[in-house]
Amino acid sequence: MSAAVVAYPPLRRRVVNVAMLTLSGLCTLLVVGVLLTILLYLLWNGAHSLTLHFFTQLPAPVGEPGGGVRNAIIGTLKLLSLATLIGVPIGLLGGIYLSEFAGGWSGFAVRYTTDLLNGVPSVVMGIFVYTLVVLPMHHFSTLAGGIALGIMMIPIALRSTEDFLRAVPRSLREGGLALGASKSETIFTIVIPAAIYGILTGILLDIARVAGETAPLLFTAFGNQYDSPGWLQPTASLPVVIYNYAISPYDSWHQQAWAAGFVLLSGLLAVSVVARLILARGKKLSHG
């Protein structure tokens, strides 16, 4: 056998390598491209309406120029706060239970129902909360909308919390137990702090996910041309405003829908970026 001087891999491997690299590169471009296209398209169509007034004024009556979506922006923020207040504690505690305490059978039951809940179509969730909250109260409200979004947040908050807790190495738990900490002391002083950045990231992404939900809000928060004081009135929200304006026959409303879409998407992007930053910071802390 002659000694192989050239360390090149055989031609076939090089060809496959180049082909796969090109393919995955193209797919990446496609994904990033779609997002950029959407963003630019929204900006292109909505830029005309994106003025300061758009953020500070109430919607103008049909036919009048100008007007804004202040009430929808505030409404979305209120809905999301309420949803977080409802969905996050339940998801968090459920995730802790699943990861740390659940036995084989109960773990399976909780996990399975959570996955089913995650699969419930959002419009069904809207009708459900409509029957549960709106009908007894006889009117639409921020409260009902927040409850609908909150229930939708539970499955993802729960599963992401569980995943991040499970990722905490066994050695850390044993380290705590070996120092005489009880199981719950170990969980609350070591395991959760070690996973906290991941858990926060999961919750932020969860909020971003329900922020764009429209269907459940149609039956619960409904919509409102004016500000909605308190929690028991119908309220406008960005997704519903986009929906209503987009199916309207007026050009000026179409433009406002584009602009509202841009505002919503930018907000979600900002939340995602913050979430990634938090996760990166957590990684940096735990690896020196």
Partner 1 sequence: MARSFSANAVQIRRPDIDRFAHSDAAAERERNQLPWPQFTVADLNFFYGNHQALKNINLIVPNRRVTAFIGPSGCGKTTLLRTFNRMNETVPNTRVEGRIRLGEHDLFSYPVTTLRRVVGMVFQKPAPFPKSIFDNVAYGLRLEHRLNKREMAEKVEQSLRRAALWDEVKDKLHQSANGISGGQQQRLCIARALAVDPEVLLLDEPCSALDPISTAKIEDLLFELKEFCTIVIVTHNMLQAARVADYVGFFLNGELIELNRAKHIFQNPDQQQTQDYITGRFG
Minimum Å gap between C-beta 102 and partner 1 is: 12
Instruction: Scan residues 172-191 and list those touching partner 1 (CB under 8 A).
Output: 172-182, 185, 189-190
Q: Which is nearer to partner 1, 43 or 163 (CB)?
A: 163
Q: Which is nearer to partner 1, 100 or 206 (CB)?
A: 100
Minimum Å gap between C-beta 186 and partner 1 is: 10
Selected from 24, 106, 184, 286, the binder of partner 1 by CB under 8 A is: 286
Minimum Å gap between C-beta 174 and partner 1 is: 6
Per rule CB under 8 A, is residue 280 in the interface with partner 1? no
Q: Which is nearer to partner 1, 133 or 187 (CB)?
A: 187
Selected from 10, 65, 136, 288, the binder of partner 1 by CB under 8 A is: 288
Size of the residue set binding partner 1 (CB under 8 A) = 22
Q: Which is nearer to partner 1, 195 or 210 (CB)?
A: 195
Q: Tokens 């909605």, residue? A: 228
Taking CB under 8 A as the binding criterion, the range among 86-94, 170-178, 232-240, 246-254 that sits at the site for partner 1 is 170-178
| Pick from 27, 30, 93, 42: nearest CA to 246 | 42
Q: Which is nearer to partner 1, 195 or 241 (CB)?
A: 195
3-state secondary structure the chain: CCCCCCCCCCHHHHHHHHHHHHHHHHHHHHHHHHHHHHHHHHHHHHHHHCCHHHHHCCCCCCCCCCCCCHHHHHHHHHHHHHHHHHHHHHHHHHHHHHHHHCCHHHHHHHHHHHHHHHHCCHHHHHHHHHHHHHHHHCCCCHHHHHHHHHHHHHHHHHHHHHHHHHCCCHHHHHHHHHCCCCHHHHHHHHHHHHHHHHHHHHHHHHHHHHHCCCHHHHCCCCCCCCCCCCCCCCCCCHHHHHHHHHCCCCHHHHHHHHHHHHHHHHHHHHHHHHHHHHHHHHHHHHCC
Minimum Å gap between C-beta 279 and partner 1 is: 14
Minimum Å gap between C-beta 108 and partner 1 is: 15
Q: Which is nearer to partner 1, 182 or 225 (CB)?
A: 182
Per rule CB under 8 A, is residue 169 in the interface with partner 1? yes
Q: Tokens 């909150």, residue? A: 150
Per rule CB under 8 A, is residue 22 in the interface with partner 1? no
What residues line the site for partner 1 (CB under 8 A)? 169, 171-182, 185, 189-190, 193-194, 285-288
